[in-house]
Amino acid sequence: MNAVAAHTPRSRYLTCEGREIHFMDWVPAPGAADHGTVIAWHGLARTGRDMDALAAHLSALGYRVICPDTIGRGLSQWSPEPKTEYCLAFYAKLARSLVNQLGLERFHWVGTSMGGAIGMVCADGPLRGRIQRLVLNDIGPQLAQAAIERIRSYAGNPASFATVGELESYFRAIYKPYGFMSDAQWTLLTESSTRRLPDGRVTPHYDPAMVMQFTEHPADYDRWAEYDRIDVPVLCLRGAESDLLLADTAEAMRDRGPRALVVTIVGCGHAPALNVPEQLLLVSRFFAGL
């Protein structure tokens, strides 16, 4: 398949469930076939810009790709009610509002970590019958508790630095499990998820209160019931060294519910960055039914 250059995405905002949500809107490239729409949702402490490489790849093939910033992340509004709104059920409501306002009836979904969990909840709940194919990037219906504690340890108390360069070094350390990333990709990751504090220091661009999900909704990521009811094709990408999605959980996902196609990504932990040709082709071929 010959790909053509992708469009420059539009940065857009919509009010969903009373909250302003930011998203990047990648339209299909000129001359590309219309293959429909993909919702690409990022991980817990990240932003929709993490999906740039995937969105560029898919839009060049003829997909429209919508990459939201979850409430409390990136350029989306921070929740004034963090105890009740930083949870998968509310994120799923935001997703339903977003796709309804965009007039999207059917679409594929790819989600990294938290974004995949939102996809599972949506596929069995507010968007049942509308998600055509679901990609779960290093996420499943059961998570390793030790990894949750690791993520809480840094996400709940975000570090701050005097310079953006120091913040990039920090990101390179904590996100090393993403696998290969070029210098330009590390810089994009940093610049698209940096905010400056009142004292002039820089810190990751999210609301630290979002970790209330783990204290106020301690069972939020226990989702076997929803997973077992999913009735669409599922592709699970598991980082070979992932400490979040354990190998035995991924194996169980092959045998239960939608009987996911599980592919292990060598050289990655939690979670593959979806930025190298092999990973991009896995997703686009799955969406094409190959």
Encoding tokens for residue 185? 């990709």
Q: What gap in Å lies between CA 116 and CA 237, rounded to an integer?
A: 11
pLDDT, one tens digit per residue, over 56-80 is: 999 999 999 999 999 999 999 999 9
Q: What is the pLDDT of residue 7?
A: 65
CB atoms < 10 A from the CB of 97, how many? 18
Angle at 143 between CA 238 and CA 266, to 5 degrees: 20
pLDDT at 22 over 60: yes
d(CA 166, CA 177): 19
Q: Which of 40, 30, 58, 116 is nearest to 282 (CA)?
A: 58
How big is the chain, counted in residues?
290
The tokens of 182 are what? 């070029």
> Residue 19: which of 84, 83, 80, 107 has the closest Cα?
80
Domains of the chain: 10-287 (3.40.50.1820)
CA distances from 179 to 58, 116, 270, 287 (A): 21, 19, 9, 23
The residue type of 246 is L
Q: What band does 3 get if pLDDT is binned at 50, 70 and 90?
A: very low
- Please tell me the distance from the alpha carbon of residue 262 to that of residue 278, in angstroms, as a whole number: 15
Nearest to 243 by CA among 172, 175, 177: 177
- Give dist(CA 248, CA 161) in Å, integer: 39
| pLDDT value at residue 4 | 41
Q: What pLDDT, in 10s, does the model give residues 216-226?
A: 999 999 999 99
At residue 1, the pLDDT reads 37
Q: Is the pLDDT of residue 5 over 60?
A: no
* 187 phi/psi in degrees, rounded to 5: -65, -40
d(C-alpha 22, C-alpha 45), whole Å:
15
- Is the pLDDT at 6 greater than 60? The verdict is no
